[in-house]
Amino acid sequence: MKKRVYSGIRATGRLHLGNYLGAVKGMLALQDSYDCIFSVVDLHTITVPYDPSVLQGSIQEIVLDYLAAGLDPKKCLLEIQSQVPQHTELAYLFSTIYPVSRLEDLPTYKEKKAQYPKYVNMGLLYYPVLMTADILLYKGELVPVGIDQEPHLEVTREIARKFNSMYPSTGSGSLTFPEPVRFKTNGEHVPSLSGTGKMSKSVEGSYITLTDDLETIRKRLRAAPTDSGTKGGEIPKEGGVANLFKLLELFADNKTNTKYTHDYRQGTIRYADLKEELSQAIYKELAPFQARRKEFEANPKLVESVIEESIRECQKMAEETMKEVRKKMGLE
Ligand code: ADP
């Protein structure tokens, strides 16, 4: 049997370069050889402040981004998390075997608490448990996600191990759940344009979206912090300049990279030129995506029918796992 792959993205806004390089590129690399399920995780979306009146629209935007990026419904299943209610059922069952204290210690939880001090809710704490249920509902073994998700995957493996030992398989002896690992890509951590942290949909000024035109990309990069550039020496390891060089490495060719590294070392770097070349390199990568997206936007009926069919398939697979789990836990 082929390995199963699972990954999801929140509907908190348009996909950005971090989502694309850290997650979507991995999905694209795996869809030809594995059984893949890719999700719009709307239940994770609502753990931070959001506007219910635009949520459905935001979900559709991610679906369009997925299709335009090249996820092919003939090769993979696409789901919307809340339409497969088994996710929440399994998450609740897992929550009964996992300690609260471990969840409170997770760096992502602490970050979100600091970001939204008035919005610290149970769902936020519970995020890694629901993510575990997302993956294990389909017995996912490979998870194409950015490096920021590694602590959550550790929780997933702990829960899988604990469940398998508390509720062992009888008969065939096969374990119920695999211990999933992250599928790494080159862009597993795309830095923020603001100079600190990672590029994120929920941090204004940090990102370039996949639908930005050349002028918008230029504008966003122009606002990225640099230094006076006159000192020369080694390229810093962190901060605005380090992040621009990281983006150059991810998007520009070797010649351009070498040129600006040399200019930095000599103290002759001109950031306006670097930003212009970087804008063009990024836009060159995004232009074909944007053209495909327009085609899907013009065909909403096709998109809708693809998703409906896919979700029905996901529901069937999910129910198979749940039958097994309910039985093992003595609930059936
Ligand atoms: P965001 O933080 O932008 O709202 P999500 O939490 O929806 O993004 O994450 C969706 C996927 O994109 C995850 O696999 C995550 O690891 C990946 N991802 C998000 N930001 C980055 C980044 N800056 N670099 C690499 N991968 C990222």
Mean pLDDT, the chain, as a whole number? 94
Most confident of 6-15, 135-144, 203-212, 302-311: 135-144
Classified by CATH at the fold level, domain 214-293 comes out as Tyrosyl-Transfer RNA Synthetase (1.10.240)
Per-residue DSSP letters for 125-142? Answer: HHHHHHHHHHHHHTT--E
**Domain spans in the chain, listed from the N-terminal domain onward:** 4-190+300-328, 214-293
106-162: per-residue pLDDT in tens?
A: 998 999 899 899 999 999 999 999 999 999 999 999 999 999 999 999 999 999 999
**Is pLDDT above 80 for 37?**
yes
**Is pLDDT above 90 for 175?**
no
If you measure from the C-alpha of residue 300 to the centroid of ligand 1, how many angstroms do you get, rounded to a whole number?
26
9 Cβ inside 6 Å of ligand 1 = yes
pLDDT at 74: 94
**Is pLDDT above 60 for 13?**
yes
236-248: per-residue pLDDT in tens?
A: 999 999 999 999 9
Q: Show Cβ contacts of residue 40 under 8 Å, excluding neighbours closer than 6 positions.
A: 8, 9, 10, 11, 59, 62, 63, 66, 78, 79, 80, 81
Write out the CATH class of domain 4-190+300-328: alpha beta
Stated pTM of the model = 0.93
Catalytic residue status for 255: no
40 Cβ inside 6 Å of ligand 1 = no
If you measure from the C-alpha of residue 8 to the centroid of ligand 1, how many angstroms do you get, rounded to a whole number?
10
Catalytic residue status for 112: yes
Mutate to test the pocket of ligand 1, among 19, 46, 127 (most ligand atoms within 8 A of CB): 19
**Is pLDDT above 80 for 170?**
no
Q: Give the count of beta carbons closer than 10 Å to the beta carbon of residue 305.
A: 11
**Is pLDDT above 70 for 287?**
yes
If you measure from the C-alpha of residue 220 to the centroid of ligand 1, how many angstroms do you get, rounded to a whole number?
19
pLDDT at 204: 87
Catalytic residue status for 198: yes
User: In the predicted model, what is the mean pLDDT of residues 46-62?
Assistant: 95
